Structure 1
Amino acid sequence: MAAVATAAIASPAMAQERRLDEEIVVTGQRDGYSVDVVQVGAFRNRGVLDTPTTINVVPRSLLDDQGAQGLDDALRNTPGVTQQTTSPFNTNTFVARGIAVDAQTNYRLNGGLPIINFAPMPIENKERVELLKGASALYYGFANPSGIINLVTKRAGAQDVTAAYGIVDAQGGFGGGVDIGRRFGSDGQVGVRINAFGAKTESTTDGVSGNRQMVSGAFDWQARERLSFRVDAEYYRREGEEPGGVSLPAAVRGTITLPNIPSPSNRYAPAGAPFKTEGLNLTARADYALAGTWSARIEGGISSAHRDRLIVALGSVNLATGAGRLTLTRTPDQFWQNRYVRAEIGGKLETGQLQHALLLGVSRTRQYRRDQPQTRYAPIAQNLYDPVTIDLSSLVPASRTVLGGNTVTDSGAYVMDVISLGSRFDLIGGARAVEYRTRTASQDYTLRTVTPTVAGILHLTSASSLYSSYIQGLESAGLAPDGTTNAGETLPAARSRQWEAGVRMKLLGAMASLSWFNIDRALSYANADNLFVVDGRAVHRGVEGSLLGALGHGFEVALSGQYLNAKQRETGSATLNGKRVVNTPEWSGSAFVQYRLPAIDRLAINAGAYYIGSRYADAANLAVLPGFVTYSLGGSYRFTLKSGTSLTFRLNGDNLTNKRYWATGGNTLNVGASRTVRASLTIDLPSQPQQVRSRS
């Protein structure tokens, strides 16, 4: 895939927020893993050293070197991220810091539009993936305090991009795509970046395969010296099959004994059990430079997702023989849609000797989920260790129901002020006034409140800073998940509180970060009656560290680790109070190192290790999921033809030791993929630099 990098931007110690209309564009040249600027939330376009919260960034160069195929590959580089409920082959249900990443509110495109993760989002057309951890109510309103996952699209830059690539894996999957970027006009005022990708997908589970496609366009137009426009459009679909998961066994005399981890090749679902998704994201933005340092922005968009899924789980398993029974539920016509609009103004002013960087705005998001017809089928015998093939046509409907739809409207007005006190200290204050309304056929709930944000940043040197922050968040407890008695029920809103302190510094060509966090939030879980409820509080405390960038000539590293102590409180149940929150490993981390040989700069080798510690699969802490570590190994070789065309060959292997592990926690367990090997070839045609109109 075409190697890209962000344009160089100065990062002085006392950097203020850049103008809203300032662009950070790709140059078409390969860069390392170092990241200087964030592009998410109210702190966008500020330097990493000037951001008072934990942000993990996975740049394009790291995604390419690891041969990443999806968000799960990207986020394994961020500590404290686990998965639950659904098979990772088809989609990802992430948990960060022990808190679910909501599929309809916590994913963003280019820092704005809330995109919907029920249709797994492609990364082939993305320049980077960012995870802004913790609460974020000031800018994003209602969103779980797990964090915001922001996907930044590739855009036309100062260099033309013309690339084609192909991929193949050891399971028999294959595919390819193109990446084309151009600027047009006398001053390069129009930019176009087109990406397209298609693949036949194969998994390490017998008979589970599919296909996926993606096409996207990123368009920029500098209409006037002060006025610019940006439009993004992407469509993607995935057609796969459900492999089937394993239901958490019932407790026996106060203990839940898990079965031996079966082979990743075992398929429990009927042959042809569908898991089909498609997504469409459209967003547009206009920026206008006002007088002085002030600028205004208006943006809006629509995100929609469709899904047809047969949920299959194997339960009541005899641990000795593996005999059990499948529960099967088909929801063929699921549909979600988000509509989003935002208007804001930002700039700088002085009051006496104080310098202010102000941001004021309003936003509104409308989330819609339509009624979903659902069919439950009669249970069918299956075996955990020696599964048999089941014909999809043999299923017998047992009952039909409709999961009620809902409409959620989240409106807010916000203000943030970054006050520079002298040359080394920034004080940040902000607040958001919220009106949140959720409606169903039987419920109409409205909440009006204000959430504050306070932070301070001390710049020790031009290459280091200390920060502390207090942020309040608002979250909907969401919907009761599949597998619970009240699946699909909308749960009430709740407030979370987050304290964080940290230090950052540049070391050689890398950014080092260390932070402490404490999140106090409402607790949601499936109780003894399998009802998903909001009851009590959860306190998530931990320490997180990372190192990303170059260390010495030829070495690039992506190191991260997290210690997390997440406990349940005030539940009203002695069996739950003081117990660890579901699916929260105490220890997790990753280490990835790439070395580019000095004598053969075109040749690079890399290795990685990814660790998830032991977790509890239930709220009462009766079932323990063992910790695991997987290893990766890879390399690349790049050579250039006489014509100037560059060819890059990559080879990557994951889970090299063929480790068996539970990839997901919670009510439904899914086995992780076995050893995988994939190769790719990228062809980059030579390009000439284009003259681009300055935005400064």
Structure 2
Amino acid sequence: MRNHHNDHVGNGVDCGNVMSHFPMSKHQQVSTRQFLPRTISAAIQALLLSGAIATLNLSYSVSAYAADSQVHAYNLPAGSLEDSLNALAKQSGITLTFDPALVKGKTVPAINSQLSRQLVLQRLLEGTGLEPITQDGAIVIKRIAIVNKADTLPEVAVSAAASQLPGDISKPYAGGQVARGAKLGVLGERDMMDTPFAVTSYTAKTIQNQQAQSVADLVANDASIRNVDPSNSGYSNFFNIRGFLLGNGSIALNGLYGIAPNNQSTVIGIERVEVLKGPAAFLYGISPSGTGGAINLVTKRADDQPLTQLTTSYISDSQIGQQMDIGRRFGENKEFGVRANVLYRGGDTAVDDQSQRLRTGTLGLDYRGDRVRLSMDYGYQEINTDRANSTISAATGVPVADIPNANKSYASPWNKVELRDSYGMLRGEFDITPDLNIYVAGGKSHTDWKQILDFGSSMQTNGNFLNRSQLNYTGIDRTTAELGIRSQFETGPIHHQVVLNATTYEAVRTSVGSIQLGSRQSNIYNPSFNAQPVIPSLSRKKASDTDFYGYAIADTLSILDDRIQLTLGLRQQEIKAENYNIVTGATTSEYRESALTPSVSIVVKPVSNVSLYGNYIEALQQGTTVGATYNNSGQVLSPYVSKQHEVGAKVDWGKLAATLSVFHITQASAIANTATNTFTVDGEQRNRGIELNVFGEPWQGIRFLGGIMLLDADLTKTANGINNGNMATGAARTNITFGGEWDTGFLDNLTLNARVNYTSKQYADAGNTQSLDSWTTLDIGARYLTMVASGQMLTLRANIRNLFEENYWTTFPGAGTLNRSDPRTLLLSATIDF
């Protein structure tokens, strides 16, 4: 057994090796004519609900903007810059903060005239090397950033557009919630307008302001992504992206799979969370767990300015946490950097009688020279969850029971999961010439995974189910590396960016097997528990060995000042997998498969702020090893290739950006047949959809983030055609997520936010007889920025997720197992910068 999906998808497979989808559906189909009006109506209602605060208070934001440029009489004496800034703060009523060391020894002339606030600041800071930065309604005085030579050297004598510079790409877009660009594996870092895929890059500011605890909290901002597990009260995360499953084991760290924690990735020490939707094996290599998309974590690096930041947090019901973030740079040109983050949090969760303890730390070291850039990352994460919840499945042909309150548990009180992850990686880049660069990266990770859990099956409409307790101790050792060379040159009017890349990934899994601890009948509304078992002393044996290899070549050809960019690529991919008998060590099953997969993409910019794009991409995916609870246990399902066609448009209005995408994805389908108790490949799943995503700050103090996805996910080519045309499991037709922030005009430095999430009905079985109700949740929050007596900036935050405590089932695509939603959760935090 591996985790709560072991009943359905895998003995000998880690969280990064779950098949990317397993449809199950059948019910009377909703026609397109019926579907579109209802979905459009639901979208309009949800968008109106989320934007109500911002719309009603637009006048306040406009007033605040006008106040910033309004002329006032100022009387600032000549003398020290520190005294003048303090006088400005008093006379204008603004919150202004600065490090005394930055202004020490600087003098300014007197100002006695009627000026705007912006002009006064401009005059005071002229020639000082300092600049004013607006941060959550306050003004922070900082040193003007100096562009490092290493950042600009590769661009010398190159006709690339300014938007391609690394400093511009990592820069936050208007509103600060997302970055302008993202890292695209073999294609390198690209601006959003030069990216032929649907990509969103969430910033550290969003992580802090939304009080995100894990990657699951960040991807919840995207309408095309739904969390299958409870985001934090559970012990692992799975994501439903465009209707396909992606496991947490497929989260990359700085571009490499197999380094980030296997089950749940916290976002401590993370600067950006980059999300690419759709198959991405050409860009990153073979995904260990699914082809729904790719998620890449970019680690924090020390800034030129020293950083010491302390955050105290509270999560209902009684989890208290302390986090420290420290960054320093050293050397004559600040070429050496150190960034360290530590976090401890523990206490009761929002689920009754459930507790969780988290201990984690990260260390990032880097060196930036003229031609050489080096970095090292190390991390440790420990999550212990008492009375952890797991999955449950409904009996064949029986309607799914109404979900119980999410803050009540039907798991035995002695259930627990203990996870320990340690990982490290090295990366180096060397500029041979301004136009030729080589890079190499590698890393290792180790996971210790101990769990004693109840798994539910055969659930009846009245809530009765069979409760089975199981034990498993698992170890996962992953080793991964990549090597590449980039070059750019011109052939006549055509500019080329060529890359050669090789990747390797190995995951060795050890296990004690699935140990049955007893079973009994129970009820989800009135549970009865198995007696607490005596845990035997067991040692792990080798259970599986999985190897991925890949070689890729890509050329991006651009003309007319990058207004037309064509990317052509090929990746040779190979999978080798072996499973072993943990008692005898004998090989029980194995396979080796390879495929040459192409990728073609194009970006056309008819005008400067519009990008039209299209892509065709294929991805080889490992087949699943069938779990121990099925009659065909140990069978290795065949690898498969998923294919995506996508076209879209991106518009950048400067303060607001939008992406419209239309996609068509096909891949093999695997189904759990409860009648025969087998798990087999059956036909194909075809997902077609439309996405609209928006983000930015169209008016000062009003920010938007979210969108809508309309999805048509059908089963085709099924055995005897029995499920042809049915909806794939876990694939809702309408998904909406839309959030807004408003810097209030009635109280300086106070920001309010809200987000609405809507998902329409979906199915838990291939026959479409077991439907799951639609659901709508509302999240709200506020933050306030103030200066404490000692001069430090203090940020207070409060968020309530699932305000009205909506309870709903989620389902794992294909497996048909069910999980419960998160209960209403209160999050509080206070952050102070020293």
* Alignment partner, residue 765 of structure 2: 618
Give yes or no for the alignment of 1:185 onto 2:331.
Answer: yes
Give the counterpart of 2:521 among 381, 388, 402: 381
Give the whole-Å Cα distance in 2 for the aligned partners of 1:548 and 1:311: 41
Aligned to 1:504: 650
Query: Could you say which residue in structure 2 is the equivalent of 1:689?
Result: none
Corresponding residue for residue 550 of structure 1: 697
1:437 aligns with 2:579: no
Residue aligning to 2:421: 279
**Match of residue 825, structure 2, among 676, 682, 693:** 676
Corresponding residue of 1:310: 452
Q: Give the direction of change, closer, same or farther, for the CA distance of 1:352–1:68 in structure 2 (3 Å limit).
A: same
**742, 751, 760: which one aligns with 1:595:** 742
Structure 1 unaligned blocks of 5 or more: 686-696
CA distance in 2, matches of 1:258, 1:137: 36
Residues in 2 aligned to 1:115 and 1:411: alpha-carbon distance in whole angstroms: 16
Contact 2:695 2:706 in 1 (8 A): yes
Of 459-468 and 197-206, deviating more is 197-206
Whether 1:566 aligns to 2:713 is: yes
CA deviation after TM superposition for structure 1 residue 479, in Å: 3.7
Contact 2:278–2:291, Cα closer than 8 Å, also in 1: yes
How far apart are 1:283 and its partner, in Å?
0.6
Q: Report the Cα offset of residue 651 of structure 1.
A: 0.7
1:65: which partner in 2? Answer: 209
**Aligned mate of 2:497, from 342, 354, 357:** 357
Matched, 1:408 2:549: no
Partner of 2:256: 112
Change (3 A) 1:603 1:498: same
Contact 1:374–1:403 at 8 Å: present in 2 too?
no
Contact kept in structure 2, 1:518 and 1:540, CA below 8 Å: yes
Distance, in Å, in 1 between the alignment partners of 2:167 and 2:726 is 47
Quick check: 1:54 aligned with 2:201? no
Residue of structure 1 equivalent to 2:237: 92
Residue 53 of structure 1 and its aligned partner are, at CA, apart by 0.8
The question of whether the paired residues in 1 share the 8 Å contact of 2:220 and 2:227 is answered with no
- Alignment-mate amino acid for residue 559 of structure 2: L
SS in 1 for 2:666: strand
Q: Share of identical aligned residues, percent?
A: 25
| Structure 1 counterpart of 2:672, one-letter code | A
Specify the alignment match of 1:656 in structure 2.
803
Between stretches 142-151 and 472-481, larger displacement belongs to: 472-481
Aligned equivalents of 2:366 and 2:505: distance in 1?
24
Amino acid at match of 1:80: S
What letter is aligned with 1:349?
A: F
C-alpha contact (below 8 Å) 2:691/2:709 kept by paired residues: yes
Partner of 2:377: 232
Q: Kindly tell me: are residues 604 and 258 of structure 1, through their superposed partners in 2, closer, same or farther at Cα, counting changes over 3 Å?
A: same
Q: Deviation at 1:221?
A: 1.2
Of 675-684 and 490-499, more deviation after overlay is shown by: 490-499
Q: 1:88 to 1:480 in 2, by over 3 A?
A: farther
What is the CA deviation profile of residues 344-394 of structure 1, one whole-angstrom value per residue up to 9, with x for unaligned ones? 111210112211011112111112222442211221232221224654238
Q: Who is 2:78 aligned against?
A: none
The structure-2 alpha-carbon separation of the partners of 1:85 and 1:634, relative to structure 1 and needing over 3 Å to count, comes to closer
Q: C-alpha separation between the residues in 2 aligned to 1:17 and 1:263? A: 49
For 1:133 and 1:172, locate their aligned partners in 2 and report how far apart those are by CA, in whole Å: 36
Shift of 1:411: 1.4
Structure 2 residue matching 1:46: 3-state secondary structure: strand
The separation in 2 between residues aligned to 1:482 and 1:53, in whole angstroms, is 39
Q: CA deviation at 1:410?
A: 1.3
- Which residue type is aligned with residue 415 of structure 2? A
* Distance in 2 separating the partners of 1:623 and 1:401: 40
Counterpart in the other structure of 2:400: 258
Could you tell me which residue of structure 2 aligns to residue 582 of structure 1?
A: 729
Deviation of the 1:464 alpha carbon:
1.5
Partner amino acid for 2:468?
Answer: T
2:480 is matched with which residue?
340
In structure 2, distance between residues paired with 1:221 and 1:29: 27
Whether the aligned pair in 2 keeps the contact of 1:155 and 1:219 (CA below 8 Å) is: yes
Return the letter of the residue paired with 1:405: A
C-alpha separation between the residues in 1 aligned to 2:230 and 2:824? 20
Residues 206 and 522 of structure 1, relative CA distance in 2, 3 Å threshold: same
Give, in whole Å, the separation in 2 of the partners of 1:29 and 1:557. 12
The equivalent residue for 2:283 is 139
AA of the residue aligned to 1:52: P
Counterpart of 2:588 in 1: which secondary structure?
coil
> What are the equivalent positions in structure 2 for 1:11-90 lying under 5 Å apart?
15=161, 32-84=176-228, 89=233, 90=235
Distance 1:26 1:539, change over 3 A: closer
The answer to whether 1:121 aligns with 2:270 is no
2:594 counterpart residue number = 448
More helix by share: 2
Give the 3-state SS of the residue equivalent to 1:63 in structure 2: helix
1:688 aligned residue = none
The Cα shift of 1:482 comes to 7.8
Please report how far the alpha carbon of residue 308 of structure 1 lies from its aligned counterpart in structure 2 after TM superposition.
Answer: 1.0
Q: How does 1:154-173 map to 2 (within 5 A)?
A: 154-173=300-319
- Equivalents in 1 of 2:244, 2:627: separation in Å? 14
Classify 1:116/1:329 alpha carbon distance in 2 versus 1 (closer, same or farther; 3 Å). farther
Is the 1:31–1:61 contact (alpha carbons within 8 Å) kept by the matching residues of 2? no
Secondary structure of 1:658 counterpart = coil
Q: Partner letter of residue 521 of structure 2?
A: A
Closer, same or farther in 2 for the Cα pair 1:284/1:262, shift >3 Å?
Answer: same
Summarize deviations over 1:28-59 as a string: whole Å, max 9, x none. Answer: 99962242111232333110111111112222
Letter of the 1:218 counterpart: G
Which of 346, 352, 362 is residue 216 of structure 1 equivalent to? 362
Q: For residue 533 of structure 2, what is the aligned residue in structure 1?
A: 393
Give the whole-Å Cα distance in 2 for the aligned partners of 1:564 and 1:674.
Answer: 27
Distance 2:352 2:544 in 1: 37
Which of 591-600 and 357-366 deviates more? Answer: 591-600
Distance 2:331 2:173 in 1: 22
Matched AA of 1:677? L
| Structure 1 residues 548 and 405: CA distance shift in structure 2, 3 A | same
> For 1:567 and 1:491, how far apart are their aligned partners in 2?
21
1:115-145 CA distance string (max 9 Å, x none): 3554311112211211111112223232232
* 1:438-496, Cα deviation, whole Å (9 max, x unpaired): 12212332223311111111012222200011111111133446865556654321111
Mapped contact 1:109–1:115 kept (Cα < 8 A) = yes
Find the counterpart in structure 2 of residue 330 from structure 1: 471
Letter matched to residue 533 of structure 2:
S
- Equivalent residue of 2:301, what SS? coil
Structure 2 residue runs without a partner (length 5+): 1-134, 580-586
Number of residues paired by the alignment?
A: 672
Query: 2: CA distance between counterparts of 1:524 and 1:512?
Result: 35
**Alpha-carbon deviation of 1:427?**
0.9
What SS does the aligned partner of 2:417 have? strand
* Equivalent residue letter for 1:683: I
- How many Å separate the matches in 1 of 2:374 and 2:755? 41
Counterpart CA distance in 2 for 1:148 and 1:33 is: 19
SS at 1:259 equivalent: coil
Determine which structure has more spread, i.e. the larger CA radius of gyration. 2
Residue by residue, what CA displacement relative to the aligned partner does 1:79-110 show, whole Å, maximum 9, x if unpaired? Answer: 22234478852221222111111443x21001
Equivalent residue, structure 1, for 2:793: 646
1:634 aligns with 2:778: no
Cα 1:17–1:678 shift into 2, 3 Å: closer
CA displacement at 1:659 relative to structure 2? 1.2
